Amino acid sequence: MAISRGYIYQGPRVLKRSRFALAVAVAALACRLLAGAEPPTLSPRELFRLGGIEERQLEVLGRGGPWHEADRQVLRNMLYRIAQDVRPIDLEYWSHGPPDLNQLAEQPEAYRAEVFALRGVVERIEPCELADARGSGSEFALLWRCRLRLESGELVEVLSAKTPRAWKPREAIAEPAAAMAFFLGDPSSEPGGLRAVFLAARMAWYPPTDLGRLGMDVGLLDDVPIPPPPKRNEHGGAPEIDWETRRLTAADHECFYQMLAAAGRAAPGELSRWAKDRLARQRRTEYSVVPLFNEPHLQQGKLVELSGTARRILPVRVGEPEVIERFGIDQYYQVYLFTADSQDNPLVFCLRRLPEGLPTGDGPEFGEALTVPGFFFKTWSYRSAVPANDGKVERQLAPLLIGDTAVWHPYQAPADSPAERLIGTVLVLGILAAVWLVLHRFRRGDREFERRIWRRRPAEMSEIEWDRFGGAASEGSADTAPPGAEAKSGD
């Protein structure tokens, strides 16, 4: 959890007092967190205090507004600190779970800046400008005031830096949501009014979709932009491709592992059933890969099921302690699947597990028939296994999908029918009879050769022939093999 420089809203005086202590404390915390063994040594309040944010400033924010420029400056500073210095696993370490709003109202000072897990339905969102008249602080120029009806029925306000793009502002909505949020204060004691104000980096969204039902924050897909497929230029030349934007980046990290974890939470066979049910509703029999290649920006998060031949199946080790601890994922598998309609282009699946007995590997002789359900993640730029003519590493585009497991169709030799077994027996007997006849005729020829040639050969013939074939006689006498055979080979 490394503190970053810049975006400091307190004066140089505060910086000089706190910079060294902040760096030392957070560096120690980072070492502990990366080890994946111990919880943070700093509380959220201590972290904000080291960043120059005082208790009295938090108390003002907890009143819910109206805010002055100094208050907006503090909010921008807090959002910056959360974005730069707080990881998702830190929030899980710090979380007190669902809030007891009565307890928070009785002891606001004791719980201010502490983290709570909020869950409920967002009923309304409104944008709130944070940038000043001069436009400074544009990195966090906008804050969203979210009215969240908790599962307990109580109403709270969450000040969030990010909300899903699908939510419509200033309208009545009903979106299942959650947030790991910092408690700021109790703005009102009026019955039916807001019970508390919280600050969060983002509002997680759990719509009634396949991924939402599996517990994934679907709003994270907003962080994984998918550009339209590249097109040839006006002269018909090869398109220019921005390979960097299509790699797996740090911005994709949280969404990728949340989707992988969500797929792993599906019951056995559940993803396949959902995919087949959707096909039945659309009155289709199979999914096409064409939209995944040609319209990737319209397919994100959608579930498909594809069948084909896996030409490469490789395990991928996860070396990040945070991912292992949060999601229980220490390994997954990459499956390169070629379908009948993919025109020899692979689709890459990342799977939590493989069917029992399915081999891993690659190469020209490797191939396993699979049916794989998965969610489309993005168009991925990966290293091609075949180098270019100039020796440089080439990259290739492929749809990247995420799923739980696959259905394996191992090759089995077809079972013979009784008629086929009878025909096979007759053929074998016929072949054996033909071989016997050929051998019998050769045997008759050998006897005739022996009668006419061997019995009247010169006495020195065998010795001459053995010498001519490299001293074979020293490895055995003429009695070890029919002399006539060696003589024939020498003629």
Of the pLDDT bands very low, low, confident and very high (cuts 50, 70, 90), residue 66 is: confident
Is the domain of 375 the same as that of 444? no
Residue 140 in this model has a pLDDT that exceeds 90: no
Is the domain of 436 the same as that of 400? no
At residue 224, the pLDDT reads 94
Residue 59 in this model has a pLDDT that exceeds 80: yes
At residue 252, the pLDDT reads 93
At residue 435, the pLDDT reads 67
Is the domain of 42 the same as that of 191? yes
| Contact (CB, 8 A) for 118 and 181 | yes
Q: How far apart are alpha carbons 380 and 227 in whole angstroms?
A: 11
Q: What is the mean pLDDT of the chain?
A: 80
Is the domain of 267 the same as that of 147? no
Residue 36 in this model has a pLDDT that exceeds 70: no
Q: Is 464 helix (H, G, I), strand (E, B) or coil?
A: helix
At residue 136, the pLDDT reads 56
Last residue within a domain, chosen from 364, 384, 408: 408
Q: Looking at the domain assignment, is residue 7 inside a domain? A: no
Helix 461-468 × helix 483-490 angle, to 10°: 60
Q: Considering its fold, how many domains does the chain have in total?
A: 3
Domain residues for 474?
418-490
At residue 480, the pLDDT reads 35
Lowest mean pLDDT among 8-22, 37-51, 93-107, 248-262: 8-22
Higher pLDDT, 42 or 179: 179
Is the domain of 34 the same as that of 112? yes
CATH number of the structural domain spanning residue 358: 2.40.50.140
pLDDT digits (tens, 9 = 90+) for 388-446: 666 666 788 999 999 999 999 998 756 556 666 677 677 767 777 776 675 666 555 55
User: Exposure string (b/e) for 322-352, b if CB count within 10 Å is 16 or more?
Assistant: bbebbbebeebbbbbbbbeebeeebbbbbbb
- Cα dist from 17 to 37, 71, 417, whole Å: 31, 22, 88
At residue 243, the pLDDT reads 74
pLDDT digits (tens, 9 = 90+) for 297-337: 999 999 999 999 999 999 999 999 999 999 999 999 999 99
Count of all residues that appear for the chain in the document: 491
Q: How far apart are alpha carbons 403 and 304 in whole angstroms?
A: 10
Last residue within a domain, chosen from 205, 231, 264: 205
Contacts of 188 (CB under 8 A, 6+ apart): 64, 194, 195
| Contact (CB, 8 A) for 374 and 271 | yes
At residue 6, the pLDDT reads 28
pLDDT digits (tens, 9 = 90+) for 443-478: 555 555 444 433 433 333 222 222 222 333 333 333
Q: Looking at the domain assignment, is residue 316 inside a domain? A: yes
Average pLDDT rounded to a whole number, residues 346-360: 97
Q: Is 466 helix (H, G, I), strand (E, B) or coil?
A: helix
Q: Looking at the domain assignment, is residue 310 inside a domain? A: yes
Q: Looking at the domain assignment, is residue 335 inside a domain? A: yes
Last residue within a domain, chosen from 205, 231, 257: 205
Is the domain of 96 the same as that of 155? yes
Nearest to 62 by CA among 142, 158, 179: 158
Average pLDDT rounded to a whole number, residues 194-216: 96
Of 27-36, 302-311, 479-488, where does the model show the most confidence?
A: 302-311
Q: Which amino acid is at 14?
A: V
What is the per-residue DSSP string for 381-450? EEE-SS--TTSPPPEEEEEEEEES--EE----PPPPPHHHHHHHHHHHHHHHHHHHHHHHHHHHHHHHHH
Residue 181 in this model has a pLDDT that exceeds 50: yes
Of the pLDDT bands very low, low, confident and very high (cuts 50, 70, 90), residue 94 is: very high
Average pLDDT rounded to a whole number, residues 41-54: 88
